[in-house]
Structure 1
Amino acid sequence: MNPVKALEKHGQAIWLDFLARGFIAKGDLKKLIETDGVKGVTSNPSIFEKAIGASDEYDGAIGEALKKGDRSVGDLYETLAVEDIQNAADVLRPVYDKLEHRDGFVSLEVSPYLAIDTKGTLAEAERLWRAVNRENLMIKVPATREGLPAIKQLVSKGISVNVTLLFSQKVYVQVAEAYIAGLEALIASGGDPAHVASVASFFISRIDSAVDAALDDKIAKANDPSEKERLEELKGKVAIANAKLAYQDYKRLFSGDRWAKLEACGAKPQRLLWASTGTKNKAYSDVMYIEELIGQNTVNTVPPATLDAFRDHGEPRNSLEKDLDEARAVIKGLASTGVSLDAITDKLVTEGVQLFADAFDKLLGAVAFKRETVLAGRVGKQTLSLPGELANSVKQHTEAWRSAGKIRKIWSRDESVWTDHDEGKWLGWLHAPSVAKTKLTEYQDFAKWVKSQGFTDAVVLGMGGSSLGPEVIAETFPQQDGFPKLHVLDSTDPAQVRALEASVKLASTLFIVSSKSGGTTEPNVMKAYFFARVTEAIGADQAGRHFVAVTDPGSSMEKVATEQKFAKIFHGDPTIGGRYSVLSPFGLVPAAAAGIDLAKLLDSALAMVRSCGTDVPPQQNPAVQLGLVMGCAGLEGRDKVTITSSKAIADFGAWAEQLIAESTGKEGKGLIPIDGEPLADPSAYGNDRLFIDLRTEAETDAAHEAKLAALEAAGHPVVRIVLKSTEAIGQEFFRFELATAVAGAVLGINPFDQPDVESAKIKTRELTAAFEKSGALPAETPALSTAEADLYTDAGNAAALRKAGADGTVASWLKAHLSRVSAGDYVALLAYIERNAAHIEALQDIRLKVRDHRKVATCAEFGPRFLHSTGQAYKGGPDSGVFLQITADDAADLPVPGQSASFGVIKAAQARGDFDVLTERGRRALRVHLKGDLGAGLKSLGTAIKQALE
């Protein structure tokens, strides 16, 4: 007789430790049932990983599933696994029926990530039980401390359980007690135990592998030949001895009065199942763990190779209860050597959980790869070109993140990923796109209302995250038919406020006042100004309908909006910081007002969310990979993150700049984002750069590509991101948000606070308060005063500059200031002037002169806009900045209704507050206050800087 089939006569069931779609579909499983008497199937992450990742037999199923709509990697895997388990269960159903529910089971594993999470295990086990919907299913639960109560509760609900990762006799007794207690609870609640079954999966070969290694270590150290022989004799015997003694516990536990009562109600004993029975040591018989563990009412689950081996040369015999005294002697003998079996089995449980988690990572990685392949372009492609040292660092961090499960920790709001402070309170942005999708009708109704009102323009009044996200949308998408043109105002510069006012029709303009706290100076004064102007234009009774507010619940802005009868009030999520808020109402309300198709925008963003989800391992997770590159580059001194964007998405860099700078630049650490600096030849750069290039698929620029290629060839790290279209900008918002949070973790900082932004605000409030009292800002004395400009700095900087050659000319001070620029530094131009095309061009001309002469990174910023973004990094980040603040007299000031401080005064206070904090932090800073015509002054400044660089 077939040796496998013959095991039936000895009361043992053979289960197959293997599962694959084609194996079932082609009838191979059915054949094994018929020829070998196989009575069950077990699965685990490693089995599924090999089935899905190492073949193309699942590609069609994945493609069909994604045709019905995109889904997360975890959902996609579960869909495949559930279908396979259902099919296997159906093939085994005749066995289940024939043996009156005593066999014919298929096992499906709860996520190994939940091995130490009782509640999570229960929830997933119940969900999988319902999803598979087959009586002959067993849910696999590990025999961890947290798994034991889950086993009891699942059985009490009538769910069959395969208890896995069992090594210890002591723990086995606890497992059996949990099963029995679960049956008792089920019967007490009126349930029928007849359909409940369980196996306790005792792992065999892993015990011998661990014990043999410990014995080999002792053999190597032993001097006595007889002691060496005694130790050698124990090898390969402990696992079988351990199992035989566990079987004696089984016989005791499932007998007696307590069990008789349960059996009378139809309960079935929990069989012992021998798992991990493929021999790992080639010196041992390849069928040893089958031949030595054959006994009544047991199960042996074997891989295909072991099944084939036993069919070929196995010898069935009643072996499980033979030589019990020898088994006891083996266990006692092991203890006498000083090797602790308890310590080994405890360690094997921990290692087993990690091994299953590792396999699950590989499995989900394989599914993620298949999903990405099928989607083919729906998720923006990201490629990394990294020099060797950085590539190795990223690889090491990737593995560290994987083994520590840090992505899962992020999604579960675990603050230990960062500084273990309050980061968990600021992770609402992770779910912002999915939350927004549930509120899509609300946004669409708002868009219809905006269109019905006939607004020609919509203006966002906000700062930082409240303005830069909407600005990307305004600059990226063309004006939609029937909807207003979207504008953004984020300045207190009087000329810029006037320019915005001149570009719109007040009587047909919608103003979106965006402020999380409601207490931010800039949106409040901008709102005060435009509310008064709209009131003048259309009357006090109609002004409110031209305003909507986006603010956190209960803010002072909400109170004002209610009092002034704003048309709409949208609430932000208090758990989302401003710079992470673009996919929340702060970005979506302006987008809806502009008629942007939010359904497409959010679907695109959600595709990236799924690509970066909790179930996507770091290697396949695009945002995590980008974040690890950014963080590792920062640790290696490549902290100047240079962002270039193609024309269609050119404004994206300004948003990313504030996200990266404000999130990472603190505690003397951080990344300095460089936006708007066009690419040059490799010779223009030091070794402190990381380049991130974004473009849309439709845009090609051969010259730009050639420069990127040259940078790669020169050993600079380059990240390329290609968007399918401009509508995919939503993906990039999420990619960069998560990447920045990851980079913050690598750098060891809290990426969700902004302590140095607050310090500048405090200084500004002090100065404006002084103005309110005296009618003037406190007097200040210039270090140098000429007809064209006044120069200001603190005593320490002034002394250093004079020592470096600063004398009676502006050019000498600039020369001395720029002489302090060293390799690895950056130069930032901080201009508190109107942000317009001419002034942008003037600053660009200056910054490129500096870059090309000093070979350092440069920033060109406009205040007060940058205070809420890069200002944080400039004050709190690494002390590598050399700052030139540029201020000027306002040609014409502008009053703020209800305040004595005008726009010009507020801007001046902001500039001075900003500069004071820079100098207090010991930064190398010089302020140039231009006099007279601003255009002429900027031109003269450019000339002076050119001379200073020569």
Structure 2
Amino acid sequence: MATETSVVITDDRLAAESQPLMHRLVTEGVPGQLAAGEPTLWGPEATDEASVRLSWTTLHETSRALPAEIDALRAELHGEGLDRIVLAGMGGSSLAPEVMAATAGVSLIVLDTTDPGQVTEALGGDLERTVLVISSKSGTTVETDTHRRIFEKAFSDEGIDPASRIVVVTDPGSPMETVGREAGYRRVFTADPNVGGRYSALTAFGLVPAGLAGVDIATVLDDAASVFGRVSADSEDNPAVRVAATLATAHERGAEKVVFADTGSETVGFGDWVEQLIAESTGKNGTGLLPVVVENAGAPGFSTAGSDATTVAVGPPEGAAQLGTDGSLGGLFLLWEFATALAGRLLGINPFDQPDVEAAKKAARALLDPAGGPVATPTLVDGAIEVHPSGDWFSPGTATVADALRALIRATPESGYIAVQAYLDRLEDASTAVLRPELARRSGLQTTFGWGPRFLHSTGQYHKGGHQNGAFLQITGAPETELEVPGQSYTLAGLQRAQALGDGDVLAQHNRPVLRLHLTDRTTGLVELVKAVQDLRAPTSSGEDRT
């Protein structure tokens, strides 16, 4: 794996225009102050929050005791034949360890879903070899607590003591710490509370599950440490300064989206991690940067990026890339964390709060009716797909799914974006992801893709708090299996449904067009949906006829 972290700006005009902001960050000594934990860098309104959110800048030093502790626990578990690690966590509690494990080529089963089919599959593995890592900063994350309850019962049903198989990662004093210690769980790790979730890759939240899975986490910390001197330097050669100034300059020019493609880096899935970091950090106050993660450098949205987007290569710059970052995974974590915090200062945004995340959670809780809540009546049914639009953008004469998609595209502002949100099984329904490039190609709009409810802990903040020019395509499906949640009045499928409907309601309250397509049969419905998307016409070179 590469150890030298590098930044290349291939757009000469953008590089030249970024110079004033680079100079401003350097002359004001912002990188050095950030590294020293100065909380006033983002203005008086952000100072209180920043004062308890900046310990991430020194994690390459303060997390040094963790690798030995985690390695010792892993050896202990392996001595008992326990080598199957399942991680129950959302957002910052799962994205970084998943990237670390995938990059290292080790097995880590990640549950960041409420889909009963996907959870059932995780339960269907060899429980005799399984350890469950419960990871939640707040200790109240509903998805994670649900997974804990379900696995506890599954262990007990197999005659296994659940406490011997559960490891907790949480903040000190959280309800989950209390539960873990009172239940006598195998190990309770408490992380530094002065680190926000999306900046927690190098805390126990990132390192415990990754290390238990077999990642060399000491090297990850070494790689971050090797970059610290450069990203904290008050110099225009500072790679974080270059990235932050480039993104902020592009945003001033109207490029409010940042399109990521892996161009041959040695990391796997880095875009999913950086997506949360940027979206939650900058998407608020009606502004910010929307990350758009695409399949490769030739994918729609990257190769055809226009004036509303900046294209970033993760790996060697190629194709239409305007900016490229490369290096070791630990180095890239720290580089993008520094760059995002610096960009927040340039954009006038507090990069450490997420004021719009809780709205969807509240809406979902309100819909968690034991009886399943009110039955939604579709506006139309086309084959195995029910069509449920929200808002007054939908034409009464619409007769097919393809017509409904055309209407959604037409309701999207010219400089806007489409967000595909799939509340399905990330493993069994993986073909759903083909919708992103197909919709991008045929709409001519930047198009994102997120698995629900995972994206609620990531781009969900931007959807409500960022530029209000998005249109939202929700995809839900009839569950093929069901799971009761021990000690709760709702089922797993009921929770998944409430999360989709709750977030859709909040988006509609923001006057954004929302189209929910419910697959009454997942297999047949997905085939029909892909065909409906392929029936759409691509825009002309002039951008006319966006359907």
| Counterpart pick for 1:600 among 186, 211, 219 | 219
1:930 deviates by 1.5
CA contact (8 A) 1:446 1:592 kept: no
Task: Deviation per CA, 1:437-495: give whole Å up to 9, x if none.
Answer: 1444323322332332321201110000101111112211123xxxxx32211101001
State the partner residue of 1:756: 356
AA of the residue aligned to 2:415? G
CA contact (8 A) 1:915 1:925 kept: yes
Write out aligned runs for 1:732-743 (5 A). Answer: 732-743=332-343
| Counterpart pick for 1:719 among 304, 323, 340 | 323
What is the SS of the residue equivalent to 1:443?
helix
* CA shift in 2, pair 1:409/1:508, >3 Å: same
The CA distance in 1 between the partners of 2:445 and 2:43, in whole Å, is: 31
| Counterpart pick for 1:689 among 304, 309, 314 | 309
Mapped pair 1:441 → 2:61: no
1:544 deviates by 0.8
What is the SS of the residue equivalent to 1:619?
coil
State the partner residue of 2:108: 486
1:787 deviates by 4.7
The CA distance in 2 between the partners of 1:445 and 1:573, in whole Å, is: 21
Mapped pair 1:791 → 2:363: no
1:640 deviates by 1.7
What is the SS of the residue equivalent to 1:426?
coil
Task: Answer with 433-442 or 825-834: which moved more.
Answer: 433-442
| Counterpart pick for 2:243 among 626, 637, 641 | 626
CA contact (8 A) 1:474 1:487 kept: no
1:405 deviates by 1.4
Write out aligned runs for 1:191-590 (5 A). Answer: 378-388=3-13, 390-420=14-44, 421=46, 422-479=49-106, 485-502=107-124, 504-539=125-160, 542-590=161-209
Q: TM-score, normalised by structure 2?
A: 0.92
State the partner residue of 2:367: 767
AA of the residue aligned to 2:72? D
1:870 deviates by 0.8
Write out aligned runs for 1:848-859 (5 A). Answer: 848-859=437-448
The CA distance in 1 between the partners of 2:120 and 2:231, in whole Å, is: 43
CA contact (8 A) 1:806 1:813 kept: no
RMSD in angstroms over aligned alpha carbons? 2.0
AA of the residue aligned to 1:491? T
AA of the residue aligned to 2:108? L
| Counterpart pick for 1:841 among 407, 431, 437 | 431
State the partner residue of 1:22: none
Number of equivalences = 531
* CA shift in 2, pair 1:573/1:864, >3 Å: same
Mapped pair 1:811 → 2:402: yes
What is the SS of the residue equivalent to 2:118?
helix
1:573 deviates by 1.2
CA contact (8 A) 1:687 1:824 kept: no
AA of the residue aligned to 2:218? A
* CA shift in 2, pair 1:784/1:419, >3 Å: farther
The CA distance in 1 between the partners of 2:397 and 2:28, in whole Å, is: 54
* CA shift in 2, pair 1:512/1:431, >3 Å: same
The CA distance in 2 between the partners of 1:891 and 1:909, in whole Å, is: 17
CA contact (8 A) 1:512 1:548 kept: yes
The CA distance in 2 between the partners of 1:643 and 1:944, in whole Å, is: 27
CA contact (8 A) 2:356 2:461 kept: yes
The CA distance in 1 between the partners of 2:535 and 2:43, in whole Å, is: 46
CA contact (8 A) 2:393 2:411 kept: no
State the partner residue of 1:881: 470
State the partner residue of 1:823: 414
The CA distance in 2 between the partners of 1:806 and 1:625, in whole Å, is: 51
Q: TM-score, normalised by structure 1?
A: 0.54
CA contact (8 A) 2:280 2:461 kept: yes
What is the SS of the residue equivalent to 2:394?
helix
Task: Answer with 576-585 or 444-453: which moved more.
Answer: 444-453
What is the SS of the residue equivalent to 2:201?
coil
1:589 deviates by 0.6
Task: Deviation per CA, 1:820-845: give whole Å up to 9, x if none.
Answer: 33432221110101012x6333332x
What is the SS of the residue equivalent to 1:859?
strand
CA contact (8 A) 2:170 2:176 kept: yes
Of Structure 1 and Structure 2, the greater helix share is in 1
**Structure 1 ranges of 4+ moved more than 6 A:** none
CA contact (8 A) 1:686 1:856 kept: no
State the partner residue of 1:801: 394
State the partner residue of 1:904: 493
State the partner residue of 2:347: 747
The CA distance in 2 between the partners of 1:383 and 1:814, in whole Å, is: 38
State the partner residue of 1:927: 516
AA of the residue aligned to 1:886? I
1:595 deviates by 2.6
Gaps (5+ residues) in structure 2? 538-546
* CA shift in 2, pair 1:536/1:823, >3 Å: same
The CA distance in 2 between the partners of 1:543 and 1:416, in whole Å, is: 45
State the partner residue of 1:891: 480
* CA shift in 2, pair 1:403/1:596, >3 Å: same
The CA distance in 2 between the partners of 1:594 and 1:439, in whole Å, is: 14
CA contact (8 A) 2:56 2:200 kept: yes
The percentage of counterpart residues that share the same residue type is 35
